[in-house]
Every structure is written in C-alpha cells, then in structure tokens.
Amino acid sequence: MSSVVMTTSLSRVLIVTLLRFSGFTKYTAGARVFLMSAPLAKFNEVESALVSLLESIPDLAGRVTVGEHTERPDFPRAAVYAERVQARESTIAGRKMTHYWTFIIVIDHISGDYREGYEKMKELFWAVYERIMADRTLGLGGDVFATPATDSRLERAFAEKGYGFSWWIEVVVRVSEL
C-alpha cells in the first residue's frame, strides 16, 4: 500500500472514517495530512526508536544518520538503515502477518592510536547491545521485539588520520500482526 496525501480541507469525520476502516495512521505536517499504511507507520516508528537509542549514547549524540551513507566528518558516528523485510502469516485466515525487519547499525570511528580506537569500538558496540537488551520493545510496546547482534563484524582500515574502524551490527525486529 502506498501513502496517500490529503489536504486538511477534508472534514475530520471523513479522515477518521478513512483511518478507522482502512488501517491507516494519520500524520500531520503543516497544512497537509499524510495517511500511511499501518506497516509503514510502524516501520517508521521502529526506525526512529533505533535512531533515538543510538542518540542516547553520549559519544554518538548528534552523530546519527538514517541511510547507508553519511557525509558526517565527525567521529565516532553511526548510521542505521533497513536491509531486509520479511513477512509470514500469523493467522490461519491470512489476515495478519508477522513482520521481521533487519536493520543494520554501522558505527564508524577513526583514531590515531589503534588500541584506543579498538577499545572505543568495543565500548560503543556493547553500549548499543545493552540498550537494546534493556528494552527489547524499543519503547514501542509488546508487538515489537528486537534482537541485537544476530550478526556483527568489525572491519578495520587505514585512514588518512589514523586507524579506521566500522562495526556492523545486525538487529532483527519482529513486529506481530500487521
């Protein structure tokens, strides 16, 4: 289902009726009302929750982007993006699906000292892991369940300013009955 954009000149009754009977969520931005399908709205909530989680780590605050590539010159930094989306039927009638969304969190760091850089990467990796494990619903309620580090890897590279590190963390999020 794609998003539908409607102006606010529509009556509130019509919007509420659309929301109630079509499984859409309402978002407002300026003079427009955006209606998103329930899965897209929940997906955006999960993505935002992961960004907030990363922003809550002091060394990453203000250094988190959504998307695979970042232009941020400051380190350490983090990016989060979706890599895979899967859905499986969760009811016999096939009216509800359980979704499995795989997000990748990439933490980048450059250090003039290899040991210091490696220690910082371990610190950041385990901070992300512990924050997810502290609330596996990501603050979104019982229909969301996140599993951190289903796969992860540390990549090392030489950089102009020292030693570069990227730690890729796979997070699988199960969302029940969309």
Each residue's pLDDT tens digit, 141-166 = 989 999 998 899 999 887 777 899 99
Which stretch of DSSP H or E encloses residue 93? none
- As a whole-number percent, the residues of the chain with pLDDT over 90 amount to 60
* CATH ID of 38-175, from 3.30.2000.30, 3.90.340.10, 3.40.50.150, 2.30.40.10: 3.30.2000.30
Q: Which CA distances in Å does 168 have to 21, 38, 78, 125, 150?
A: 41, 29, 10, 9, 11
131 against 18, higher pLDDT:
131
Which pair of tokens denotes residue 38?
């329930």
The top-scoring range by mean pLDDT among 25-34, 71-80, 123-132, 157-166 is: 123-132
Alpha carbon separation from 4 to 7, 34, 37, 108 (Å, rounded)? 10, 6, 9, 37
Say how far apart CA 38 and CA 43 lie, in whole Å: 8
Cα–Cα distance, 163 to 156 (Å, whole number): 7
Structure confidence at residue 40 (pLDDT): 92
Mean pLDDT of 56-80: 89
Is there a contact between 81 and 62 (Cβ–Cβ < 8 Å)?
no
Tokens of 170: 């796979």
Domain locations in the chain as residue ranges: 4-36, 38-175
How does residue 36 score in pLDDT terms, banded at 50, 70 and 90? low
Better-scored residue on pLDDT, 100 or 4: 100
pLDDT at 71: 73
In this prediction, residue 157 carries a pLDDT of 80
User: Would you call 152 exposed, middle or buried from its count of C-beta atoms within 10 A (0-12, 13-18, 19+)?
Assistant: middle
Q: How far is CA 62 from the centre of its chain?
A: 16
Confidence label for 175 from pLDDT (cuts 50, 70 and 90): very high
Q: Which two tokens stand for residue 42?
A: 């929940």
Q: How many CA atoms lie within 13 A of 154 on its CB side?
A: 15
The SS3 of residue 84 is: strand
| Residue-averaged pLDDT of the chain | 81
pLDDT digits (tens, 9 = 90+) for 72-121: 788 999 999 999 999 988 776 677 889 999 999 999 999 999 999 999 99
Helices and strands (H and E) in the chain: how many: 3, 8
Residues 6+ apart with CB under 8 A from 117: 109, 110, 111, 162, 163, 164, 165
